[in-house]
Structure 1
């Protein structure tokens, strides 16, 4: 029996969902009987190969995030939006109430502790989007794993269901929208 390939990526977020993914602890070792990890915090692989399940944390703040997400979606049979940032923009979407220019000025010109006021303009910096977007506004998402971050138990449950060929179903006690 061939193993299921799982890949993960992080866009505009805090990497907390990946840390929570690792909270599956020793259950990760048990999963290794059935899965192999492609791009993930366990492998340091930079580009995803074709895989069965893709987990994405973080929202879309810049053009690079959009490019990475579209490339990732093309490689994944099943895509799971993980955490508040991927599902609704999360904390990064707090900037949606302001223009990009206002955000840049606050951070680089008017912010507390700014010693050398200058907005970066290096052409290598990714182009900021006018708003932070959740994943489903750019690609098709198959499942959502809510939370900030979702608990390790929720990761284990959704992956176990998918490995068993079942539709994922999380108990209400495991769903967190905070």
Structure 2
């Protein structure tokens, strides 16, 4: 039996969606019989693989690393699901948008109200460069399915995965299908 190649991705967000996925408890053992987890913050792979069947993407696009990763996710995945409100709308991650461009926010946080040394973090490869606006993933790539919720519940995630494994379209309330 060919198992579905599943990836989970964590961008700008709190990891609550991954926690909901883990809340599936014993059903994860059943799921493992049908999927191969090929990428996840849980498994800590460094590069997004080719040939992914299903990518569950949590979080919004907040920095240049997210921008590069989400483009790899779309190029290398047959189906992409925006998992949770940050991925669907920007939600909490995008609350910084009204405050202005990234540089001015960093100036306020690190120079005016934070670091007594008055230094902005800027070491290449250590701190990703922030984008001026946080955006939901569909503003960068095409998304196949939107699974809203902050976070979506474990049973809701399970229902979507069960439908996809059965080869039927998942039924999502609220028009986020």
Q: Same fold (TM over 0.5)?
A: yes
Once residues 141 and 160 of structure 1 are traced to their aligned partners in structure 2, the CA distance between those partners, rounded to angstroms, is: 19
Runs of 4+ in 1 over 4 A off after TM superposition: none
1:151 deviation in Å? 0.8
User: Are 2:88 and 1:87 aligned?
Assistant: yes
Once residues 62 and 165 of structure 1 are traced to their aligned partners in structure 2, the CA distance between those partners, rounded to angstroms, is: 35
User: Are 2:11 and 1:6 aligned?
Assistant: no
1:41 deviation in Å? 4.2
Please list every run of 5 or more consecutive structure 2 residues that lacks an aligned counterpart in the other structure. none
Going from structure 1 to structure 2, the CA distance change for 1:71 and 1:136 (only over 3 Å counts) comes to: same
1:28 deviation in Å? 0.5
Between 84-93 and 100-109, the greater mean CA deviation after superposition = 100-109
SS of equivalent residue, structure 2 residue 39: coil
Query: Which residue number corresponds to residue 137 of structure 1?
Result: 139
Once residues 11 and 119 of structure 1 are traced to their aligned partners in structure 2, the CA distance between those partners, rounded to angstroms, is: 22
SS of equivalent residue, structure 2 residue 85: helix
- RMSD of aligned residue pairs (Cα, Å): 1.7
1:42 deviation in Å? 4.2
Report the number of matched residues.
172
Query: Which residue number corresponds to residue 55 of structure 2?
Result: 54
1:92 deviation in Å? 1.5
Once residues 86 and 161 of structure 1 are traced to their aligned partners in structure 2, the CA distance between those partners, rounded to angstroms, is: 21
1:44 deviation in Å? 2.5
8 Å Cα contact 1:17-1:149 kept in structure 2: yes
Query: Which residue number corresponds to residue 77 of structure 1?
Result: 78
8 Å Cα contact 1:9-1:56 kept in structure 2: yes
Query: Which residue number corresponds to residue 124 of structure 2?
Result: 123
Please list every run of 5 or more consecutive structure 1 residues that lacks an aligned counterpart in the other structure. none
